[in-house]
Structure 1
Amino acid sequence: MLHSSGGRPPNPRGLLIAEVAQATQRLADAGVPSPRFDAEELAAYVHGVKRGELHMVPDTDFDARYWEAVSRREAREPLQHITGRAFFRYLELQVGPGVFVPRPETESVAGWAIEAVRAMDVAEPLIVDLCTGSGAIALALAQEVPRSRVHAVELDEGAYGWAAKNVEGSRVTLHHGDALTALPELDGQVDLVVSNPPYIPLTEWEYVAPEARDHDPQLALFSGEDGLSTIRGLERTAHRLLRPGGLVVIEHADTQGGQVPWIFTEDRGWADAADHPDLNNRPRFATARREVP
């Protein structure tokens, strides 16, 4: 809805600020976790500016399509599906229906992996990202570790399509296949295996946020009664792929911090298994080193 200025010069801030405030209240009432941010991000998207430039949009340029976007978010459609983009570390990714939207907490996983690879005495580190989804982690590693050779694996056909768009023109080699049997040609050669796998217990379906439960691929969310079925399989895959001394990094739920490191035990060929917190100081990912004989 456009408001008349009553013959006064357009106020470059007044209208949009009022509309964003109204949208923020609507999103808050709908249970959206970050209503102000989402209201501003939608306004920026619709008006073709950055969030920090919203004050530059004059009253006369207000686009009524904003309310269509707000209604979609109000119905708990993911923000990133509406805008078609997701931000991850230094990346802007294409996302939409059929692919898991990367979360901020996964940036901690990617950050640890990047620092670990940089610390390796390897000229061209070989990295494998299993269950790559949009390709976020693989692309971050390829971008921030310039001499790395990165392979990414995705099973879900829809997610693979989005990953293919994102990795186009990058140094990431994308593979369509099962993470549990992937890349036998690289066995024993990989420096680092990283994964953000499905880890939600099937018993917790009703507690999952609507944005994920109703829009993210089920294959990317749920993994057995305790949520650890895929991680148990990835433990074997990582051990197969890694060279002696190579590292594995696997994301998990904040409630699984006491369980995942115990999957990477000494009797299965691992050393230094440990858990790590995310930026909110919640247990978020486990790491281990393939034992050196």
Structure 2
Amino acid sequence: MAQPNNFRKRWLQRYRLVLHEEQSYKERWQITGARWGLTAASGGFLLSLIGLTYFVIAWTPLREYVVPGYVSETSRMRAIETELRADSALAALAIQDRYLSDLRKVLSGQEVVNDLEPAILDSSALSETEKGLNEWGLTDEDLALRERLEDEDRFALQRAQSVEQVSKSIPFAPIQGEISSEFNPGIGHFGVDFVAPIGSIIHAVDAGTVILASYTSDGGYVVNIQHLGNRISVYKHNQSLLVEVGDRVQAGDAIAVLGGTGTLSTGPHSHFEWWVGGTALNPVQWLPDYAPEPLN
């Protein structure tokens, strides 16, 4: 029993700390206390210091410099924004690359394959959807509104199809003359050849911007015009050009003089191509003066 009593006595025994002057030994300051009090005070001071340190590091900008690898919220948001912009830039770059690739194929006389397939609605899936809507407890008014919206969408699709037909049409003929060579993509002939006197004027078939006006070995003097609706008109084997890249033209404007330049030319004529959505179309079907008469 002696040892526990001595231990308790040592911790409860009070001590006094006194500060004296060196010369006169005059008492200047003193403090009294037991060991347990000093220990408690030291522990409280230590906990306070830890809490203050945590507050300074966790809730002040100092944490950016103290904590290794810490990324501030502002930097994190900037990184996310930068990543989103990079993804958008990559998507835009992919579209631009696809456009340039299709344009190179157009200029070289190759056929552009459209690999986008239209979506097909599954009737069974639609019936399951309608069943699910009924199970949700939709009223007759809700179902009637849904049917009306579906009818409007159907009419909008029909209007879009009619607009597409109009967009493929060619408002103005490039030249008045006889067709000497028909459209035949199977042999790489993606347009039609018009025969007319040498020196005849070639006209722009619609309003647009000249994207190519130069000489090529096979096509001779060539003019390409970009029109609205992702349409491109191509005019080859000209004797001379009347426009430059970047010029804005209107339907019927003079753009070139008929000739027979280029290695693929067999004589004076005008080779005309009509590309819509990256696909070569038969211009005869869309030219106002050359389109076949509808059957009665």
Greater share of strand residues, 1 or 2?
2
Same fold? TM cut 0.5 = no
Bigger Cα Rg: 2
Q: TM-score, normalised by structure 1?
A: 0.21
Q: TM-score, normalised by structure 2?
A: 0.21
